[in-house]
Amino acid sequence: MAKPGNIKRTLHYFWLALMQHKIRTILLLILVPIWIFLSNVVVPYGTSQIIGKLSSGDFIIENYIGILLLTILSAGVNNLAVIRAIDWLDWSLDALGGEYLARLAFTAVINQSMTFHNDRFSGSLTSAANKLPGAFIDFKSNFVWDIYPLILTALFSIGVAAMVCAPFAIILAIYIVIYMTVAIITFYKTRKVDEVLADAENKQTGQLADTITNEMSVKSYARENQEKTRFKTATERTKMAVFGAAKVSLWRNLSMNIINMITFAGLLILIIMSHNWFGLTIANMVFLYSLSNSLLSNVWTINHILRAMNRSFGNAKEMVSILDLPLIIDDKTDKPLKISQAEIEISHIVFEHSGQKKPLFNDFSLTIPSGKSIGLVGVSGSGKTTLTKLLLRFDDVSAGAIYIDGQDIRDVTQKTLREAIAYVPQESSLFHRSVYENIAYGKIGATREEVLRAAKLANADEFIKDLPDGYDTLVGERGVKLSGGQRQRVAIARAILKNAPILVLDEATSALDSESEGLIQGALKNLMKNRTSIVVAHRLSTIASLDEIVVLKDGQIVERGTHQELLKANQEYAKLWSRQSGAFLEK
């Protein structure tokens, strides 16, 4: 259940969205009281005066032409100008405030670390980010058309009624206090079930996205029925949450109905008897009836108001919590990384994965000289990929430091650090955009000639030309329309285009067949010239020509040297080489 603090934070972000457009917000706050005063005071008062004179039998049109025109004019201005202006301002703040919060949510999610993303469903994050602008729009519209008018109606009704009949005003005030007290009590009860419903809907969305994203696994293992069962469980949870919310809402509405019926009966009796008790005119009796009827109608909407508020807070809860999360990996300063030699020094680092009992790296050190190429070898779990992620600051070390040209990478911005590194992971994920756009992603403002040259160097140009729309072919979500080897070549082309001083290849050629690998080995060799390069590989043939090979085991360096030196030493590397089958390293 959301705590008051979460509601305050939600209102804080909603207020930030409104303050981006202060003039529209202020105009809205001014126009709504005019609307309520005209519709709930001026028009009813004029109408009641006319009805009062008609009932007395001495109505002369000439004597009341002024109030008649005022009533008609007030109603016309209210409906044709004031309400329409409120409607336009409301819609414009929907668009502008919603855009601001959508971008705020996007920035918060994309700035979080890989650890954050690895612990969450991408579908749930998408749902939460999309729900925040919607929650703002619902809450703001609820305030403009329900909450604010209700408060103004109550104030105007009690204030005007006090000038006409003080006892009537006192009863109205007591009614509002009792009604609002009951409403607030039920608000805290219904908030819990609405948040349970919002949470169930987010998890249902996450489950749906997880299954669709892994459709290949579902199909290949014939697990459609199991996934249907899992999704059924999620939808049943949502269904039960809906019924739970409905049950609480029904009981709340029943209690409100009883209070309304008793109050309406009391006010009606008081209005009828007020002529004899207080000497009220027919006109004032009609006026008081209009005031009370308007107030009771508006107060009844408190059920809708509270339900909508609960829904808005519930929908915003998860994203607001994310907005308030501190960044796991954050920039300490605005200092940029300055590359001179691109020398990497890993100095006495300590690092352990979340949930692990002991560190993977404990007092680990490794220096990679400027312009040299280093191969990292070892069985799965030895720390090869983790080292590359620490270099990119996808995670931070617990102790020690990683330096580039003597600069601690934690003391420079992540943006400039990653701009200096061309990174190709083992499983390259492409955007659902054209092949051209995916390659061009490596360099802002890249020319078409540069993109085509990078594709040719990565041995990707030939297969790209055979695609239905060539370089303009959409690759599908995560690049599913391409084979693994094709995706990898597009990713390598992107890295070639980036032309960064440091190159990191994390099993970048593992998805390529031997022929394709052989064709791009020359390109990669040229790419690594005069660049500091780290190559992680299970396929040892891809690193045999590197300047040095480092063998890792359980987070420690057990051997290092050139390919020939390590073979002659006949130790760990030689054993790994001899156990290869089909040029792949066994675990």
Q: pLDDT tens, 339-368?
A: 999 999 999 999 987 767 788 899 999 999
* CA pair distance 506, 518, nearest whole angstrom: 17
Pick the residue with more confidence: 321 or 245? 321
Whether 111 and 246 share a structural domain? yes
Per-residue pLDDT, 522: 67
Listed ranges 45-59, 120-134, 258-272, 395-409; the one with the highest mean pLDDT: 395-409
Whether residue 306 is found in the same domain as residue 433: no
pLDDT (0 to 100) of residue 56 = 61
Q: Is residue 153 part of a domain?
A: yes
On whether residue 225 sits in a domain, the answer given is yes
66 within a domain of the structure (yes/no): yes
In a domain, 487, yes or no: yes
User: Where is the domain boundary, 292, 323, 354?
Assistant: 323
pLDDT of residue 9: 92
Q: What is the DSSP track for 343-358?
A: -EEEEEEEE--TT-SS
Question: Do 151 and 28 reside in the same domain of the chain?
Answer: yes
Give the tens place of pLDDT for each residue, 29-54. 999 999 988 888 877 777 777 776 66
Note whether 108 and 190 are within 8 A (CB).
no
pLDDT for the residue numbered 584? 45
Rounded Cα distance, 249 and 227, in Å: 33
Instruction: Give the pLDDT confidence score for residue 221 in this predicted structure.
Output: 64
pLDDT on residue 416: 92
Q: What percent of the chain has pLDDT over 70?
A: 87
d(CA 362, CA 350): 5
pTM for this model (two decimals):
0.69
Question: 298 and 434 share a domain?
Answer: no
Same domain, 304 and 442: no
Question: pLDDT confidence of 93, banded at 50, 70, 90?
Answer: very high
- Of 499, 527, 547, the one marking the end of a domain is 499
Is 443 in the same domain as 313? no
The tally of domains found in the chain comes to 2
CA dihedral 29→31→32→36, nearest 10 degrees, is 150
CATH code, domain carrying 486 = 3.40.50.300
Give a yes or no: residue 53 inside a domain.
Answer: yes
Q: What is the pLDDT of residue 220?
A: 65
Shared domain for 317 and 436, answered yes or no, is: no
- State residue 582's pLDDT score: 39
The DSSP output letter for 434 is: B
The domain that holds 99 is classified in CATH as 1.20.1560.10
Q: Tokens 């920035």 — which residue?
A: 107
**What pLDDT, in 10s, does the model give residues 1-16?**
345 558 899 999 999 9
Q: Taking Cα atoms as reference points, which of 355, 352, 337 lies closest to residue 421?
A: 337
Domain span holding position 478: 427-499
Instruction: Let me know whether 315 and 440 are in one domain.
Output: no
**Residue 143: which residues within 8 A CB-CB, separation 6 or more?**
none
Task: Write the CA distances from 378 to 166, 556, 575, 585, integer angstroms.
Answer: 88, 10, 11, 9
User: Are 317 and 442 members of one domain?
Assistant: no
Determine, yes or no, domain membership for 342.
Answer: no
Distance CA 581, CA 579 (A): 6
Whether the CB-CB separation of 488 and 426 falls below 8 Å is answered with no
Report residue 583's pLDDT band, with 50, 70 and 90 as the boundaries.
very low
Please say which residue of 499, 528, 550 terminates a domain: 499
pLDDT for the residue 108: 86
Looking at the fold, whether 201 and 64 belong to one and the same domain comes out as: yes
pLDDT at 14: 95
Q: ∠ CA(256), CA(262), CA(268), 5° rounding? A: 125
- Would 361 be classed as within a structural domain? no
Residue 558 in domain: no
Q: Point out the least confidently predicted range of 63-77, 329-343, 539-553.
A: 63-77
